[in-house]
Amino acid sequence: MFSALFGYNFYRKRYLNKTTSSIMKLYLEKPFLNKKELIHSVDIISLDFETTGLDIEKNKIVSVGWVAIRNLSINLSSCTHEVINTNDELPESSVVIHQITDNQSASGMNIEDIMPILLEQLSGKVLLAHNAKVELGFLNKVCKQLYGTNFIIPIIDTQYLAKRSLERNNKTFKKKALRLFNLRKELKLPVYKAHNALMDAVATAELFLAMVNKISPKNNARLGDFLS
């Protein structure tokens, strides 16, 4: 990943110097934490998008959910869920999955209104997601569309962590074993309804905390041990 070469703050400063967007300036002004920071002191936002599909260039975000993690505890009072108005008729194939109707979408927030709120939450923090390339890809596309600036943030990907663990232990596995709810089942976490952005964000947060406990039972791991 490009950030591994120079570091997240190198590119943050670079984008900050180039952007003309006041919203992106506010987001980029706050430095990201050093990767040597102990993981229990890191502020994390667990984020999930429901979308009309996985083609980042063609598809759109239909809902967003997030929850904050501080001191390795989930702050449920921070739970946020918003339906996004795509200004398009939703494809039936995606409605079947996320169960957000055209009427619900039409009454949702515009993406340009939710993005400043989301960026404020993410500023100076770490993004947590399962299969984070989806959230990162859509965030990057939207930031370029709205603000003319690339998006950057330190990323923890629970799918990546699970894959890394299996490979390090020379275990064979099928791709479906890396799905969020299969990993939760493996760690004996409760079953939640899938494809609701907030529920998936909470489910990912819980999975991550279980992974931290397994990877670092003495609670002495550092942020860099988890970054993708």
Encoded amino acid at 87, one letter:
N
* CATH code, domain with 127: 3.30.420.10
Longest dimension (CA), the chain: 50
More confident residue, 24 or 90: 24
The number of domains in the chain is 1
Which residues form the domain of 93? 3-225
Distance CA 51, CA 60 (A): 5
Q: Is the pLDDT reported for residue 5 higher than 70?
A: no
pLDDT tens for each residue of 103-151: 999 999 999 999 999 999 999 999 999 999 999 999 999 999 999 999 9
DSSP reduced 3-state for 222: strand
DSSP reduced 3-state for 208: helix
Q: Any idea what the Cα angle at residue 104 is, between residues 78 and 140, rounded to 5°?
A: 60
- Identify whether the C-beta of residue 27 lies closer than 8 Å to the C-beta of residue 122: yes
Matching residue, tokens 């515009």: 110
Distance CA 143, CA 135 (A): 12
Average pLDDT over residues 39-52: 97
